[in-house]
Copies of this chain bind each other. A is one copy, B any other.
Amino acid sequence: MILHGYWRSSAAWRVRIALNLKGLGAEHRFRHLRRDEQRAPDFLRLNPQGLVPALELADGTVLTQSLAILEYLEETHPAPPLLPADALGRARARAFALAIAAEIHAVQNLRVLNRVKGLGHPQEVANQWAHDTIAEGLAACEAMLARASSAGPFCFGDAPGLAECCLVPQLYNARRFGVELGGLHRLLAAEAACLTLPAFADAAPDRQPDAE
């Protein structure tokens, strides 16, 4: 498998964590998002959306969208699982992952911040947009975990999975934009538990060869 990514892309990072958790090797190729390399014709042939990550399978098939890739890895390599064993637990874990991937990250990624700047605003306004989106979204995620009544420290069940693949990159992003995290006790406890694990440590942006 070849994972096309970018060191600081939250979505590519999710897939790096999942591959590590499942013990799956992949060749890593990097597309520099700030140089628009994901819009290059050869990459658009792989992924017409022009987004990382894209996972190229051995036969050349290309999978896109990080959460769809995680579900594919879960189905084709079930152990260790990324999702709880029961349908209700899986629904909660997926809702949490979507609350981050769709409601937070998709609204504060580089493409959207460039759209904000395209309206004539300086970088500081774009940064505030990201800050507010992340702060509101993570507060809702903390409330979701409070209701899920997991024993902790992980979000759902006794091991990290889909939820943590999304949470850890989003908290990194939160700090980049100066979001105050002090009240997010459950989220921070899950993150702290994850960061002790090599699967998460090795997937961190500054450990990637294309890190700047």
- By a beta-carbon cutoff of 8 Å, the part of chain A in contact with chain B is 48-51, 61, 63-65, 67-69, 71-72, 75-76, 87-88, 90-92, 94-95, 98-99, 101-103, 106-107, 112, 115-116, 119, 121, 125, 129, 132-133, 140, 143-144, 146-147
Given A99-B65, A143-B48, also A91-B106 (CB < 8 A): no
B48 with A95: CB separation less than 8 A: no
B119 with A91: CB separation less than 8 A: no
A90 with B102: CB separation less than 8 A: no
The listed residue (B67, B91, B103) touching A98 by CB distance below 8 A is B67
A90 with B107: CB separation less than 8 A: no
Given A68-B94, A98-B67, A102-B102, also A49-B140 (CB < 8 A): yes
Give 25 CB contacts A-B under 8 Å: A48-B143, A48-B147, A49-B143, A49-B144, A63-B88, A63-B92, A65-B95, A65-B98, A65-B99, A65-B102, A68-B95, A68-B98, A71-B90, A71-B94, A72-B90, A72-B91, A75-B90, A76-B87, A101-B102, A102-B102, A102-B106, A106-B106, A115-B133, A119-B121, A119-B129
B115 with A119: CB separation less than 8 A: no
Report B-chain residues with C-beta under 8 Å of the C-beta of A61.
88
Would you give the shortest CB distance from A138 to chain B, in whole angstroms?
Answer: 11
Would you give the shortest CB distance from A195 to chain B, in whole angstroms?
Answer: 26
Report B-chain residues with C-beta under 8 Å of the C-beta of A140.
48-50
Would you give the shortest CB distance from A170 to chain B, in whole angstroms?
Answer: 13
Residue in A50, A98, A121, A146 with the greatest tally of chain B CB atoms within 10 Å: A98
Q: How far is the CA of A171 from the CA of B22 in the complex (A)?
A: 38
- Measured CB to CB, the nearest residue on chain B to A51 is B103
B49 with A103: CB separation less than 8 A: yes
A64 with B116: CB separation less than 8 A: no
B75 with A87: CB separation less than 8 A: yes
- Measured CB to CB, the nearest residue on chain B to A125 is B119
Q: How far is the CA of A107 from the CA of B103 in the complex (A)?
A: 8
